[in-house]
Amino acid sequence: MKIQNPHDRFFKETFGKVEVAKDFLNNYLPESIIKVIDVDTLEPQKDSFINEELQEAFSDLLFKANINKREGYIYFLFEHKSYSSKDIAFQLLKYMVEIWEAKIKKEKADKLPVIIPLVVYHGKDSWKIGTTLGEMITGYEDLPEDIKRFTPNYEYLLYDLSRYTDDEIKGEAINRIATTIMRDIFTKDNKGLLGSLFRAVSYLLELDDKQTGIEYFETLMRYIFSARADLTRADFNEVVRKIETTYPEGSEAVMTLAEIFREEGREAGMEAGMEAGMETGEAKALARTAIKLLTKKFGLLPEEFKTGISKLDPPTLDVMIDGILDYESLEEVKRYLQ
């Protein structure tokens, strides 16, 4: 029952539902784009293009839809790190090429479908990098237009949830709940996050289908208490008291979750307050990735390298991983371990 990657599961359980994805597109796509997409033809695809090394930091969803009266695709990339990736435009390009390659192989197609790429980000800091591939290419803006013509460039749609105010969060109940909680999961303290949870519960009361509301409330609770290890037993008790008066339909789900936490040994951690937060878990995941990639390239690593890598913070690990393909020896790794 334990959730290994709560962000991935929450994103897919929410936006993997066609009605929620349609609602998001209707409310957040620019008018010039939404008017050429037939959202009623939206169809989820089983494909995922995130490799094993990046699964701790990214999730994706692919939908097929009629775009400008022709078959096309909408690709959601959800970044669930606490800070933004500098190479996101390049990663997205690779994923789009994989989508096109799959199309060619499966259907022997000689024409490529339109792909509209969307990035959803919910880190602690606002997104500070550009949204085009050209901005990753050295000196691109200074090139003559005749040379730019021969250089690939494209733009992706960015949804930086950290910038959204409550009034700017739009859509039906589940869409507003997911956007609110994903915005606040990294940025608010325990009290603030519980306030967001209670506001989200008030949105559930808008649903006509009460069973859907109860099921999504459990999804929401699992996400919050799995993603935020610093929530205490007192926080959990406050949720129980509040739910009993504002959303009694969710009381049974709360008790079920309490039993799950107890079986996982989470109860003791909640009592103690659990000081290890999200960044610790993220650093461990990135350190495992760095060690795995370096081992593949250079063979078995000395123990001092493994120990040093395990002590690095997430931003440093991210930079190290970005450069692994270019390293010619382990000596180049040492500069991060000083």
Give one DSSP letter per residue of 226-280, joined into a string: HH-TT--HHHHHHHHHHHHHH-GGGHHHHHHHHHHHHHHTHHHHHHHT----HHH
Name the more confident of 293 and 280.
Answer: 293
Residue 273 reports pLDDT greater than 80: no
How far is residue 284's CA from residue 87's CA, in Å, rounded to a whole number? 21
Residue 195 reports pLDDT greater than 90: yes
Q: Tell me what the mean pLDDT of segment 163-188 comes to.
A: 93
How far is residue 50's CA from residue 47's CA, in Å, rounded to a whole number? 10
Q: Tell me what the mean pLDDT of segment 235-243 comes to.
A: 84
Residue 269 reports pLDDT greater than 60: no
Question: What percent of the chain stands above pLDDT 90?
Answer: 44
Which of the four pLDDT bands, split at 50, 70 and 90, describes residue 278?
A: very low
Q: Tell me what the mean pLDDT of segment 102-110 comes to.
A: 87
* Residue 230 C-alpha from the chain's centroid: 20
Residue 276 reports pLDDT greater than 50: no
Look at residue 119 in the predicted model and tell me its pLDDT.
Answer: 95
Q: Tell me what the mean pLDDT of segment 236-242 comes to.
A: 84
Which of the four pLDDT bands, split at 50, 70 and 90, describes residue 172?
A: very high
Q: Where in the chain are the domains?
A: 6-168, 189-272, 279-334
Residue 156 reports pLDDT greater than 60: yes
**The model's pTM:** 0.75
Residue 261 reports pLDDT greater than 80: no
Which of the four pLDDT bands, split at 50, 70 and 90, describes residue 274?
A: very low
Residue 198 reports pLDDT greater than 60: yes
Look at residue 277 in the predicted model and tell me its pLDDT.
Answer: 41
Please give the helix or strand (H or E) that residue 66 lies within, else none.
strand 58-67
Computed over every residue of the chain, the mean pLDDT equals 85
Note whether 301 and 295 are within 8 A (CB): yes
Look at residue 3 in the predicted model and tell me its pLDDT.
Answer: 41
Look at residue 283 in the predicted model and tell me its pLDDT.
Answer: 74
Q: Tell me what the mean pLDDT of segment 137-155 comes to.
A: 94
Look at residue 79 in the predicted model and tell me its pLDDT.
Answer: 87
Which of the four pLDDT bands, split at 50, 70 and 90, describes residue 186?
A: confident
How far is residue 110's CA from residue 104's CA, in Å, rounded to a whole number? 7
Taking residue 226's Cβ as centre, other Cβ atoms within 10 Å add up to 23
Q: Tell me what the mean pLDDT of segment 11-40 comes to.
A: 96
Look at residue 162 in the predicted model and tell me its pLDDT.
Answer: 87
Look at residue 134 in the predicted model and tell me its pLDDT.
Answer: 95
